[in-house]
Structure 1
Amino acid sequence: MKIEYMSIDLETFSSIDISRCGVYKYAESPDAELLLFACSVNGGPVTVYDVADGGEIPEEILAALSDESVTKWAYNAAFERVFLSVWLKRNHPQYFSSYSIDGDTVRDYLAPSSWRCSMVWSAYMGLPLSLEGAGAVLGLEDQKMKEGKALIRYFCKPCPATKTNGGRTRNLPGHDPEKWDTFKKYNQRDVEVEMSIQHRLSRFPVPDFIWEEYRLDQEINDRGVLLDMEVVGNAIRFDTFSRAALMAVMKEDTGMENPNSVQQMKEWLAGKGINTDSLDKKAVTELLKTAPEDVADILRLRQQLAKSSVKKYQAMQASACADGRARGMFQFYGANRSGRWAGRIIQLQNLPQNHLADLEEARSAVKSGDYEFMSMLYDDVPDTLSQLIRTAFISRPGYKFVVSDFSAIEARVLSHLARETWRTKVFADNGDIYCASASAMFGVTVEKHGQNSHLRQKGKIAELALGYGGSVGALKSMGELEMGLAEEELQPLVDAWRSANQNIVQFWWDVDRAVKDAIKMRTATETHGIRFIYQSGMLFIALPSGRRLSYVKPRIGENRFGGESVTYEGVGTNKKWERIESYGPKFVENIVQAVSRDILMYAMRTLSHCFICGHVHDELIIECSKDVDLDAICRQMGRTPEWIPGLLLRADGFEAPFYKKD
């Protein structure tokens, strides 16, 4: 029988903690072992191959794993593909083959082009990312077995040695045959649930171009980014020295037994006549404004002590593969409301920015390993280490990084879709949108370093807070009162921005009306080149790229003000599946962020011949030979996709031996 497609699920053992280190490090551990291999061929019954107990996987199935004419399905397929890559190389090298070109760092992994991920399909449809969650929302007859978590703890992870278990550090099938039989049923059920999800979603196939995007995403994850392990190790060591020194000073100056204790610090402050309910960053910033100098010194030391930069370095150390590269840091379709990526493990999406004027010198001080020299140069060692986190990502010898990003991508997309022509002209003239916004709001010329320059900050605040329906609350949440704006200035700022951007405001409510009409009449509507389609209990928003956003079981309801609102089912802020309320400006935010994501994806495809090793929102990190032209990459990245003609894009960049924020 010719194998055309397979559905696969693995159960594995490794002493590496996959939640901290990721699948690449997990799979390459010397003790990593394949336990169970459940597989359905061409939609047939699921067979479980008990590899741990001597079972053998048929040769035709092993050969199919690297045969690009055979489609391999799995839920979170990246795990199966990466683990089987390493397992095949070790145990059946004759069946392993890789992809790409010599010099690429993806050569240890099976080509992702013939792999399909049901989790991506679920995310594309607006469903939960977990197999259990997707099965529950779809109301599948066969659900993921709840015993699974306990069985995984028992068989897939090291166990503590106890007298009861004879001092062993691992549970094998023979230690509990009954549990092992249940585990095999669990393995089988996972494939059955995954196949049921495919069947249930078959009316809504994922477009081929999305699978091509997934392939490119997997290639970037396989490639990874090189880490300077010397910088990483020294930073962790320096942080330990710094924390010990700070603790010693604080104990000496305050008499506290544990300066880290919130309660002890509150009591010490109370003894100084200062009472506070909180010691979070915002509260401490406020206290510093009026605190006597001796108290302020202690609060500043506490702020240094609270810096958590070392966690990023520890994540780097934990996840680095044998070749020093961190892999698997980007989850495709991790944000299913927009389809953007989610950060994993080290989380490049939320690295601290760097503002040190002598960044390279500070980095060299850490690399030298001389803590005394470092502490002599910099008063605030934790802050310096925090600013150096990005620089731990380095290009390999003989190569350089080119980091290129879009200029004001969301502002450009929003302006284009809303047909706010005065803003588009600013972009066409390479103007400063914050100055232009302030000029439009206040009716005067605003220049960055010239006339009315003090108003630029208000323009910037308004741009960042108000584009998606934000009002006074959005300004406050951005800390505008702390930045010097008075309470009575906030509403006029909102009014001025909306008055200057009437087409954007109109766009919000045109989208609001189109969504509501589509749901009420169970039909398709359109506005501003965006289509809204109600179909089979789903709301789809068709983007210019051809991609769709999905909203599950939309309804018209009533908001807290007694007005009409749209609700749909999704993963809410508390990570639970629940009914979520939305309205025009929020849908506009989803649309703009989704279109911006598609533009970045277009750039990734345009530059896919380069070694892209990372990306963050509107930025690409490319590892390339030293003779590659920076301007050529920026020009390529700044090309406007044919599906959104007239949009003005600009990409700027820099080159460096290590990553940073320029």
Structure 2
Amino acid sequence: MKQISIDIETYSSVNLAKAGVYRYTASDDFELLLFSYSIDEGPVKVIDLTQGETIPQEIINVLSDQTVIKSAFNAQFERVCLSAFLGTHLKPQGWHCSMVWSATLGLPLSLKTVGIVLGLDKQKIEEGKNLVRYFCTPCKPTQTNHGRTRNLPYHNPAKWQLFKQYNRRDVEVEVEINQKLARFPVQESEWHNYWLDQEINDRGIMLDQQLVTNAINCDQSFRQKYLDEAHDLTGLDNPNSPTQLKEWLHDQGVDIPSLAKADVASALKSTTGDVRKVLLLRQQLSKSSVKKYTAMQTALCPDGRVHGLLQFYGANRTGRWAGRLVQVQNLPRNSMPDLKEARQLIRSNNQDILGLLYDSVPDVLSQLIRTAFIPKPGCQFYVADFSAVEARVIAWLSQEQWRQDVFEKNGDIYCESASQMFHVPVVKHGINGHLRQKGKIAELALGYGGSVGALKAMGALNMGVKEEELQPLVDMWRQASPNIVQFWWDVDKAAMDCIKQHLDTETHGICFKYRSGCFFIFLPSGRRICYAKPKIGTNRFGNESITYEGIGPTKKWERLETYGAKLVENIVQATSRDLLANAMQNLNKAGYAIVMHIHDEVVIKAPKGTSLEKIEGIMATIPNWAKGLKLNAAGFISDFYKKD
């Protein structure tokens, strides 16, 4: 036996989508219902555990045998569920995930959609979703079903037989996907990255349960207080209702497009009296500070940790990680100077003092979300992240030497960019320091071909930049960074030539290849980015453009458009991701326990007294494929997670 493809069906009263597979399997009523498997792409066998059938010992032995590949679509689910069923931790090594394999080729993260896109002979059974809902989740007790809370096979034998067919078909589809993708195998180094990702998810991260519980209670108390105040001011039955509140505002002579954050903030600039008070209360009520605390509670496992917060290859173009459950990739920032003191007030449930000290309790709760993650007793968090990694990568790839020189000295890229643009020295909090903000906006908005629209989207107008200054800013930035601009055009030409002629092309050490209806960009690391079914089309300006098939903004499979600067963005972000993966592998080999990572930042749980400098040094180690890159990492030590 070289490989076994697996699909399982399970039952648990825990909501899988909200709580995650680790909490799902920790439920007392978790049960394995069906186990289907195919050995070396042979016939599929279905084992019905509800009817007393058992998994052969040979197959059980294989599940922990790292020399035999265990393959499943979203293999984390199968591995974690089978670990719970067997009562032993199945290590990720030796497990392959065909969902990850699909993602490496730019395909969707859904078995059904992948099957459709690939045009498989066998497709996922349509009734599957209803069957899963019927047999795998609790049902509502009714008079018709005699008050039961769960559907068992004997309640509907015909449905159960169809469910077994559904389970069998999922393995058949998974096997066929593997056969279709066989010509483009996943690099072994990526499977090692996947296994490390699974180890991090298995390890989990501790929660300060007292803080989480008190934060939720505090939010409820202050929400009620704000509602009561708004009710007294407006007389409305539900002052939190957008319809009722907009009507009340209209009666007060204030017409507002919507009660969205931006519109409320705009209206506050010109309102006074009770209207202003009501809008301020609306701001407090609309904050979603408590939702992540609730998500933490829902996903909390019996070991006091949350697991499964990261999705490997969640961004299937660049290969970056995505957040799951608590969505750690978009946690609110914290800027409070007295973060520790505010945190202690919540932990001690001192709501009266909290209300006296802070104008906005929801804002305090929002800023404290990160601090709910804590290390185990005797340890601290050692947090290290890359400094301006995307700016460093694009400077390295485009060979923009003055930028490389800045990073060599660990200088301030925003100051130096402003200096290059305005031809005067710019020092943070010093000479011409007011220009640094313009340099920062330009750096963040313009690196990937952005223009006036990108500056506006970045909030340039709200930061004091005038409308008439926007285009000159774009022009000055591009003049100051000619190699980056040329990089966009060189990538655009190389990609166009490759797709048109089906020939290999190269620029800036990056290879472009057309293979079997796919366009590949080979990164410096050796990893590839894939664009399915590429074509040369015509854009809205009447110029030639590159199109390909992928998941669009509507989450549907559709034809998308790209261009040189956008491809550069993918290349830079994917390379930055590879640097992070390399750093995590090095940290793991050195014995550091990574519990979480966010964007370009790694969170390590380690005993007090561990050397932060050593961690920073490992993080900033340049891989062999990135010689000449000016990489730097900086970190801090804390008793709870935060943004330093």
TM-score, L = length of structure 1:
0.96
Counterpart in the other structure of 1:99: none
Bigger mean CA offset, 256-265 vs 434-443? 256-265
Matched, 1:651 2:633: yes
Counterpart in the other structure of 1:500: 480
Counterpart in the other structure of 1:244: 224
Counterpart in the other structure of 1:445: 425
Counterpart in the other structure of 2:617: 635
Aligned counterparts of 1:337 and 1:438: Cα–Cα separation in 2: 32
Q: Compute the displacement of 1:314 (Å).
A: 0.3
Q: Compute the displacement of 1:283 (Å).
A: 1.0
Matched, 1:43 2:25: no
Matched, 1:64 2:44: no
Q: Compute the displacement of 1:271 (Å).
A: 2.4
CA offset digits 1:289-312 (Å, max 9, x no partner): 222244222212111111101110
CA contact (8 A) 2:312 2:321 kept: yes
Aligned counterparts of 2:187 and 2:629: Cα–Cα separation in 1: 24
Structure 2: tracts of 5 or more residues without a match: none
CA contact (8 A) 1:567 1:582 kept: yes
Bigger mean CA offset, 288-297 vs 241-250? 288-297
CA contact (8 A) 2:233 2:274 kept: no
Equivalent of 1:565 in 545, 548, 552: 545
Counterpart in the other structure of 1:124: 104
Trace 1:64-463 onto structure 2 (pairs within 5 A).
64-89=62-87, 96=88, 109-463=89-443
Q: Compute the displacement of 1:247 (Å).
A: 0.4
CA contact (8 A) 1:334 1:341 kept: yes
Q: Compute the displacement of 1:272 (Å).
A: 2.5
Aligned counterparts of 2:539 and 2:272: Cα–Cα separation in 1: 48
Amino acid at match of 2:607: S
Q: Compute the displacement of 1:488 (Å).
A: 1.0
Amino acid at match of 1:366: I
CA offset digits 1:490-544 (Å, max 9, x no partner): 1111111111111100000100000000000001100001101011110000001
Counterpart in the other structure of 2:27: 29
Aligned counterparts of 1:648 and 1:480: Cα–Cα separation in 2: 29
Q: Compute the displacement of 1:556 (Å).
A: 0.2
Aligned counterparts of 1:17 and 1:56: Cα–Cα separation in 2: 27
CA offset digits 1:252-276 (Å, max 9, x no partner): 1122221111122222222222211
Amino acid at match of 1:551: Y
Aligned counterparts of 1:4 and 1:540: Cα–Cα separation in 2: 29
Aligned counterparts of 1:271 and 1:154: Cα–Cα separation in 2: 50
Return structure 1 stretches of 4+ with deviation > 4 angstroms: none
SS of residue paired to 1:355: coil
CA contact (8 A) 2:592 2:605 kept: yes
Amino acid at match of 1:184: K
Q: Compute the displacement of 1:376 (Å).
A: 2.4
Aligned counterparts of 1:199 and 1:560: Cα–Cα separation in 2: 39
CA contact (8 A) 1:9 1:191 kept: yes
Amino acid at match of 1:206: V
Equivalent of 2:451 in 471, 478, 486: 471
CA offset digits 1:107-150 (Å, max 9, x no partner): xx311001010001000011111001111111000001111000
Amino acid at match of 2:15: D
Aligned counterparts of 2:509 and 2:269: Cα–Cα separation in 1: 50
CA contact (8 A) 1:523 1:535 kept: no
SS of residue paired to 1:206: coil
Equivalent of 2:461 in 469, 473, 481: 481
CA contact (8 A) 1:537 1:552 kept: yes
Amino acid at match of 1:28: A
Q: Compute the displacement of 1:429 (Å).
A: 1.4
Equivalent of 2:18 in 7, 14, 20: 20
Equivalent of 2:536 in 556, 575, 582: 556
CA contact (8 A) 1:515 1:525 kept: yes
Q: Compute the displacement of 1:625 (Å).
A: 0.9
Aligned counterparts of 2:359 and 2:265: Cα–Cα separation in 1: 19
Aligned counterparts of 2:10 and 2:243: Cα–Cα separation in 1: 45
SS of residue paired to 2:353: helix
Structure 1: tracts of 5 or more residues without a match: 90-95, 97-108
Counterpart in the other structure of 2:498: 518
SS of residue paired to 2:621: coil
Equivalent of 1:610 in 576, 592, 597: 592
CA offset digits 1:39-73 (Å, max 9, x no partner): 11222110000001211111111111112222111
Q: Compute the displacement of 1:373 (Å).
A: 2.7
Aligned counterparts of 2:372 and 2:333: Cα–Cα separation in 1: 13
Amino acid at match of 2:489: W
Amino acid at match of 2:47: Y
Aligned counterparts of 1:612 and 1:533: Cα–Cα separation in 2: 36
CA offset digits 1:455-510 (Å, max 9, x no partner): 11110000001100111111111222222222111111111111111110000010
Bigger mean CA offset, 398-407 vs 255-264? 255-264
Aligned counterparts of 2:261 and 2:458: Cα–Cα separation in 1: 14
Counterpart in the other structure of 1:105: none
CA offset digits 1:193-228 (Å, max 9, x no partner): 000000011111111111011000000000111000
Give % identity: 59
Aligned counterparts of 1:429 and 1:44: Cα–Cα separation in 2: 59
Amino acid at match of 1:378: Y
